[in-house]
Amino acid sequence: MLDLDDNARERELAAIAGRTARIHRWLVALLAASAEQPGEDLSTLFERVGQAAQKDAVSRHEVTLAPDTRVGAWRIEHAVGHGGMGTVYKARRADGAFEMEAAVKVIRVRRAALEERLTMERQLLARLSHRGIARLIDGGSTGDGHAFLVMEWVPGRDLDAYVHDEAPALGRRLDLFEQMASAASHAHQRRVVHGDLKPSNVRVNDEGAVRLVDFGIARLLEEGEASGESPLRALTPEFAAPELRAGESPSTQSDVWSLGAMLYWLLTDSLLQSRAGPIHGESLQRSIPRRDDLAAIVARATAEDPRDRYPTVFGLIEDIRRYRTRMPVEARAPTRLYLVKRFVDRHRFAVGMAGAVSAALCLALAGALWQAHRATVERDRAAAQTERALMAEAESTQLAGELEQVVAFQAAQLSAIDVRRMGVGLRTGIAARHRESMARNGMTGPALQERDLEAQRMLARVNFSDLARDALQDNIFENALESIDDQFADQPLLRARLLQTVATTQRAVGLERQAGAPQREALAVRREMLGDQHPDTLESVNRMGQQLMAEGSHDEALAQYRKALAGLEALHGPKHPETLTALSNAGIALEAMGRYVDAEPNFREALQGRREVLGPEHPDTLVSMSNMAALFDGLERPAEALPLYREALGTRRAVLGDDHPDTLRSISNLGVFLAGEDRFDEAEPYYREALAGRTEVLGREHPETLVSTNNMGYLLVNTDRLVEAEHHFQQALSMSRRVRGDQHPLTLVAMNNLADLLHKLGRYEDAEALAAEAVSGGRQSLEDGHWYLGVFLNRQGRELAALGRFDEAEAVMLESHGIFVEAFGAEHGHTQVVVKSLADVYASWHEVAPGAGHDEHASAWRARLINEE
């Protein structure tokens, strides 16, 4: 700039002013200073100007507030931190309106318009309602004109202090990252960016839950610059995207970069800016598994060009989840070798089994897959030839109809997939090829029989339904999705139909997480092309509800079901089968949320309508019958529930057969009911039949099989077979983490059940750690007031009491009691369980601290019990 003549310099400054007003002002100041000291060395000049500016800023804007100073409605207690933006104080509400702690940040700047902008900003930030985001509560100006912001007080430690103190393992670090990224994603969906994501703006409480602070402040402080007011930027260079350091405004893409930089920091304990060169696997510690995948994720998130980053924070989160489930990550090129490596990584046992039996088994498996692949290729070639012939002969007016037939055929083929039949065929084919291989090698008689039995024993340890499901995902569904995108890119409605079929089929075979992307895309396309009230759109809305239920988002699922119900009722009337399905689904969502009374009208109307329209033995009618039984069970009306459970099971056995998934569901439901009535001897045969059937038909890792594995553990605990129970609970939790994710509601239930068992085994510290994880996960993934959280809190309270931490136990158990009273009322069985727990805890507390009034509390809570034995 100094080398330019006056005219050129003015033109360059004008161009910079149009892009970034702040940099323009800095340059003008530097140029003016250089004119005053023309002979001064440039580096010395920069240092002198910077020091002078800093000294001037501090002298003009530094604010120190003494304890008991009144700031608006808040009274300062003490300073808790200092930064480039100002000083943070802990404060309490001082006007007597209510009791509340808060963090007050006094900004080192005087701005006439800041208070007005604060009002607008609070309205914008009011959109944010997420457990991982600290709320902006208040704001205004001090008596001398300095701006202040009042934020929710978040107890705990900054992320950097937490990581330094706790040295968490990789899995825990990724948990922390997912929590903070999820909070940022929530804000982005509501058009709010953070702009200054860094470890000191992430708080971690004692339970390990993450909260982001200072949301929206970066933009708030920037808005005064256009008017020429003194700039004050919330910016930490080590975690700021390149475009922010260049003076551009915060954006969702700059937040993606900052999250990528924090991920690198979490993985390496070092700053991204401190390294030179590209990021690759060797950049991370050798102890990190599949480190090339994580390095690729970091590299994509922190790409120099925002267009090369993940388009959304959610995309970054999804890739982290793919890494954690050993799936191929999107940040890496999907080469054949890479995809094969990830498949082997996910199925080490199956691959090891094949090698242990013999090389012939490997060849047999490869041959079976090759035959399936060849059949697919030949079918596709024939379909393509047929389609080309039709297109050559058909008139343009007939083409759409012909293509629709092809799509209908392909959709029918996908929806007819039977995982069990595929698994049986795979097992039979491998066994037959093994025998053939041994015979070709000259083995006969007893030797051949012995080797055949050995192979059969090895094969019996492999669940071929699981293997078939994984093969479907890797070889059929992924290829189908690629083909849909390639072949139907210019025909969005046909693409949406196939995407919907893929998503529905994936859910049916137990690939619920993988079904999310095609389900969401199918719904989005149909909404855009057809509008909200078209029958196809309403189908996808209803299916979206099913996807959200599978993901554990019951409140969001209910909203989708209600949209579908309103549209279908207007379109078809109240008695149409599709309307009745949406009505029933809404009841299922309400029941899952513990709102049994609200669910009853839905279930009654659906059952009556299906009996009239479909008949008493139709599968949908039997679903409604089973739902009605579960509702009566939840309402504690067992005399009405049991006959319906038995009728639904008997009819399903007769109509569908013993091994149909719906029949297995009825078997499981009846067992759960009997166990809930403490009739464990009667329940056990049903539990074992459901678990064996689901393992055989659906596979060990199918979500419904995981439910049966968990249920079996529960029954074993209640019949004092604790060692056997631990095996089932550990297996259920491990597989649920892998299949559903760590914070899925049913994963949290598995944690809670294992914690209960560990308590019975006297392993209180292990039990409390699991219970705390369940509570933390529940606070983040469940809707407010969900009764599951009450269960988890009660369990944590019992563990804390067992460890002698009675004051902590009291707090969480009182919270649990409040949730159950709100959800079910004071006399419901769930609520009574917590009442008894509280009475027991106070009694135990009295034993170690007599004379403190705990015995009186115990008596008061025991008096609330309706049927104390």
CB 625 within 8 A of CB 615: no
The count of other CB atoms within 10 Å of the CB of residue 93 is 18
Angle between helices 703-718 and 722-739 (to 10 degrees): 160
End-to-end CA distance of the chain, in Å? 88
The count of other CB atoms within 10 Å of the CB of residue 410 is 20
The first and second tokens of residue 622, run together, are 């039997």
Q: How many helices (H) and strands (E) does the chain have?
A: 37, 9
Q: What CA–CA distances, in Å, run from 127 to 111, 137, 192, 210, 827?
A: 25, 13, 9, 19, 36
CB 480 within 8 A of CB 506: no
Q: Name every residue whose Cβ is closer than 8 Å to that of residue 734 and which is 6 or more positions away in sequence.
A: none
Q: How far, in Å, CA of 700 to CA of 694, rounded?
A: 8
Q: What one-letter code names the amino acid at 822?
A: E
Strand partners, 133: 212
Of 775, 783, 862, nearest to 816 by C-alpha is 775
Q: How far, in Å, CA of 824 to CA of 828, rounded?
A: 6
Q: How far, in Å, CA of 695 to CA of 731, rounded?
A: 13
The string over 229-260, giving b where at least 16 C-beta atoms fall within 10 Å of a residue's C-beta and e elsewhere, is bebbbbbbeebbbebbeebeebbbbbbbbbbb
CB 232 within 8 A of CB 108: yes
CB 16 within 8 A of CB 23: yes
760 is in an annotated binding site: no
Strand partners, 151: 103, 136
The count of other CB atoms within 10 Å of the CB of residue 92 is 15
Which residues are annotated as part of the binding site for ATP? Answer: 105
Which residues are annotated as part of the binding site? Answer: 105
